[in-house]
Structure 1
Amino acid sequence: MKRTLLLLALAPCLAFAQSKADKLAHKYIIADGHVDLPYRLKVKHFQLKKEYTGIPISTDEGDFDYTRAKAGGLDAPFMSIYIPSKFTPSEGKLLADSLINMVNFICEEKPTYFEVAKSPSDVRRIFKEGKIALPMGMENGSPIERLEDVAYFRKRGISYVTLTHAKPNQICDSSYDTTRLWQGLSPFGEKVVLELAKQGIMIDISHVSDSTFYDAARISPVPLLASHSSLRHFTPGFERNMSDDMLKVLKENGGVIMINFGSTFLDGEVTQTREKLRKELNEILEAKGLKMRDKEAKPLVEQFFKEHPEAYSDVEKVVDHIDRVVQIAGIDHVGLGSDFDGVGDSLPTGLKDVSGYPHIVAEMLKRGYSKKDIKKLGSDNVFRVWQATIDYAANH
């Protein structure tokens, strides 16, 4: 009874706090370092035809659409031009072009909703016009077969390149692969890093091995970007995330880490729990003659995870990661890189789609962050890295 009365008494305060968070999320520009919409639509057989009705204005599919983004205050989601590691450079270039074409087509067909952005000034103008800006980042540098390809992709609108993905490529080693082909950057990769800076493309070190990160930090003339990574402190042994020492180096470099929302990126204990639950779920499906990816299995999978909330992290853990970046590197070096449409069913409670950003703001306000801090996290920090890279290119 006392607990019920306490909750009733606190309800107006909680509602006011959430309302304030919602206003701030819409007042300041929120840029998200990584949203996998293009590849999700590609897999769904997106066609570049005017009669296509799947342009994401309002849909219950995936994690992103215009309506939910506007509700969440999301203004500049970096569209991931994702290239799977299995593709050859020539195959990857064709795929990259098709995904870039898709983003351009969406903006051309729905110009009152979306516009491609190639700089922070573009985003600010588009924000004032009430539209959502769609900057682009290429996830995996494998399509860069020659140095001239860097300028080609900049001309096509690419604003960052993630040096690799799940396997080593001609540029560097991946955090997900143990072969360590190059022990960091390859000789060609060193040239690519310098050429990216020269062309005004941000150097994204998400997915790379530790040695690749340190090599890139050593030679890069511009601040580095981790477009969708979290912290290894909370996920021991998970090299895909960044260590405390890497954060210190990132601070010296002037770079920014944008926190990934995937539950397995946020909490090592949740990762272990999910592994146990997946074994249990597989046994249930096998008994019914089904596999996890079967269409008939989808409602069973959804119901199973609905009954097991412990399979997910939460908004509080996202802000724990933000807190630790601030503690080690400072408020100027952190942003948001959700990986929406890229981490499947592992999104945390309170952040199941792009409408959830005000929940992060509310938790930050609760912990004493200022409006200025929230503005930096939302976009100022990544804009600083982006503009510094553009300015370097203009002078070289």
Structure 2
Amino acid sequence: MRIAALALALALLPLAAQADQPLSAGQRFAQDATIVDTHIDAPSLLLRHWADLGVDTPKVEFDYPRARQGGLDVAFMSIYTSPGEDKAGEATQIAHTQIDAVEAMIGRRPEQFALLRSPKDFDRLHAHGQRVLLALGMENGAPIGDDLSRLKLFHERGVRYITLAHSEDNRISDSSYSRKHTWKGLSPFGEKVVDEMNRLGIMVDVSHLSDDATRDVLARSKAPVIASHSGLRHFTPGFERNISDELAKAVAAKGGVIQIVFGNAFVDPASAAVTQAYFVASAQFEQEQAAARARGETPKSSEAFDKEWEAAHPPLPVKIDAVLNQIDYGIKLVGADHIGIGSDFDGVGGALPDGLKSVADYPNLIEGMKARGHSEETIRKVLGGNLLRVWSAVEAKASQQ
């Protein structure tokens, strides 16, 4: 494992400092393969604090130097809006502002970044590996509101997948985190959303959805669907946020792909238990907030609640093996054609396994897969080939309608 250790050590250094360092086998493979990560939360961070991600930016997990170091070719930027922003009527504007931020990053660094709207444009825009291509995935369908025409507008702006719901039920779908399950699956409006996404060529993402909603999506969609950043429930029984064996098989049978997430909360049973406890406590806290307001009192803020929770529940130590175990099991369950990666970098507060702390670390995943006996063909499929195939299939289906 000396090579993996070297790769990890090199990943912690700025790219320029490595010019005279030999590449590890994992790094060489990463530079040659096409790596597609379907979930990176950089846009939310850019709105909170603007940073030039074209240079080494130590406080985040995605920047250009480390992306090149790790061999990342396509990074789906997560256009995330919260249920609270939806309730406040702010989701649509926030989504547009996050897309503006991504466009600004590309505009300032055109030699380093480009917006990828279709896998057909990959070779033209990639510039022989000098650019990191940024695609857009919308996490939470809240910015659509009640207006189907917004799907066309967001498609025109580059959004190529939509996670229909997030941590609460919305107008479109039930969430896996919600105890209400308002629609018992997709809403009638949600069915129209899936139809329109199929027509436009936007991938339907079932990460975060309840089991019933995922079943409804699979029954409704005419195109393959994805889980952009999900773990496998086999490792975290009772955690509906992770996809069940039954539904993973159904996604694969429809030609789709399950993108394995890296965050501790989804790949480690103990961390998943803490996450489940958080959502129970958060729901109780929201009830207490509402009761305080009804009494005319000023309740404790959600930010204060989250800060106290994080202080009381620091991240648990997790090894890279937790992610490798998920990939191994997923390949055995649904086949090598239906597993990919969706890290959730910059979206889990740094709660990531050792050896997978930033976009520089994909070579460590490669070394781990090789050590477990996976062929180069399988590794290339998981790193990005499968996702590009599904994206192309969704586009082809749209062109037939």
Q: Secondary structure at the match of 1:344?
A: coil
Q: Look up the equivalent residue of 1:253 and give its one-letter code.
A: K
Offset of residue 72 of structure 1: 0.9
Counterpart CA distance in 1 for 2:211 and 2:318 is: 25
Asked if 1:371 corresponds to 2:379, the answer is no
CA distance in 2, matches of 1:365, 1:171: 41
Do the aligned partners of residues 349 and 275 (structure 1) sit closer, same or farther apart at CA in structure 2, a change above 3 Å counting?
Answer: farther
Kindly tell me: are residues 349 and 14 of structure 1, through their superposed partners in 2, closer, same or farther at Cα, counting changes over 3 Å?
A: closer
1:147 Cα offset (Å): 1.5
Question: Whole-Å Cα distance in 1 between the matches of residues 164 and 26 of structure 2?
Answer: 35
Structure 2 gaps of 5+ residues are: 8-22, 278-303
Does structure 2 conserve the Cα–Cα contact (< 8 Å) formed by 1:270 and 1:312?
no
Q: Distance in 2 between matches of 1:347 and 1:125?
A: 33
Q: State the secondary structure of the residue aligned to 2:234.
A: helix
Residue 96 of structure 2: aligned partner:
97
What residue number does 2:39 align with?
A: 34
By how many angstroms is 1:210 displaced?
0.4
- With 125-134 and 32-41 compared, the bigger mean Cα shift is at 125-134
C-alpha distance in 1, partners of 2:330/2:211?
A: 18
SS in 1 for 2:360: coil
Cα distance, 1:97–1:71 mapped onto 2, change above 3 Å: same
The letter of the residue matching 1:353 is S
Equivalent pairs, count: 358
CA RMSD of aligned residues (A): 2.6
Question: Any idea what SS the aligned residue of 1:208 has?
Answer: coil
Kept in 1: contact 2:55–2:64 (CA 8 A): yes
Q: Residues 272-317 of structure 1: CA distance to partner in whole angstroms, max 9, x if unpaired?
A: 58999xxxxxxxxxxxxx99849xxx9xx7xx96xx9xx1222111
Matches within 5 A, 1:167-178: 167-178=168-179
- Distance in structure 2 (CA, Å) of the matches to 1:214 and 1:158: 23
How far 1:85 moved relative to its partner?
Answer: 1.0
Q: Is the CA contact (8 Å cut-off) linking 1:160 and 1:203 kept in structure 2?
A: yes
- CA shift, 1:395, in A, is 1.6
State the secondary structure of the residue aligned to 1:138: strand
Partner secondary structure for residue 168 of structure 2: coil
**Residue 221 (structure 2) aligns with:** 220
Matched AA of 1:139: E
* 1:318 is aligned to 2:323: yes
Call closer, same or farther: CA 1:181–1:274 in 2, change over 3 Å. Answer: closer
Q: What's the CA shift for 1:91?
A: 1.7
Structure 1 stretch 72-81 or stretch 265-274: which is displaced more?
A: 265-274
Look up the match of 1:73.
71
Aligned pair partner of 1:338 in 338, 343, 346: 343
1:221-300 equivalence runs, <5 A: 221-272=222-273, 293=307
- Structure 2 residue 210 is matched with structure 1 residue 209: yes
CA contact under 8 A between 1:228 and 1:339: conserved in structure 2? yes
Q: Which of the numbers 353, 356, 375 marks the counterpart of 1:351? A: 356
Equivalent position SS for 1:112: coil
Give 1:285's aligned residue.
none
**Contact 2:229/2:343, CA 8 A, preserved across alignment:** yes
- Tell me the equivalent position of 2:332: 327
AA aligned to 1:193 is V
Structure 2 CA distance, aligned partners of 1:382 and 1:275? Answer: 29
- Structure 1 residues 216, 24: closer, same or farther in 2, change over 3 A? same
Distance in 2 separating the partners of 1:142 and 1:12:
45
Deviation at 1:219, TM superposition (A): 1.1
Q: Which amino acid aligns with 1:349?
A: D
TM-score between both structures, scaled by the size of structure 2: 0.84
Tell whether the 8 Å contact from 1:56 to 1:65 is kept in structure 2 after alignment: yes
Aligned partner letter, 1:190: E
Report the 3-state secondary structure (helix = DSSP H, G, I; strand = E; otherwise coil) of the residue aligned with 1:369: coil
Q: Distance in 1 between matches of 2:93 and 2:275?
A: 36
Q: Quote the offset at 1:57 in angstroms.
A: 2.1
Per-residue CA deviation, residues 241-267 of structure 1 (Å, 9 max, x unaligned), is 001111111111111011111111001
Q: Which residue of 1 aligns with 2:20?
A: none
Partner secondary structure for residue 353 of structure 2 = coil
Once the two structures are TM-superposed, the CA of residue 21 in structure 1 deviates from its matched residue by 1.6
Opposite residue 72 of structure 2, the aligned amino acid is: L
Q: Distance in 1 between matches of 2:385 and 2:244?
A: 23
Give the aligned residue type for 2:143: P
Q: 1:12 to 1:171 in 2, by over 3 A?
A: closer
Distance in 1 between residues matched to 2:174 and 2:3, nearest whole Å: 52
Deviation at 1:384, TM superposition (A): 1.1
1:117 counterpart residue number: 116
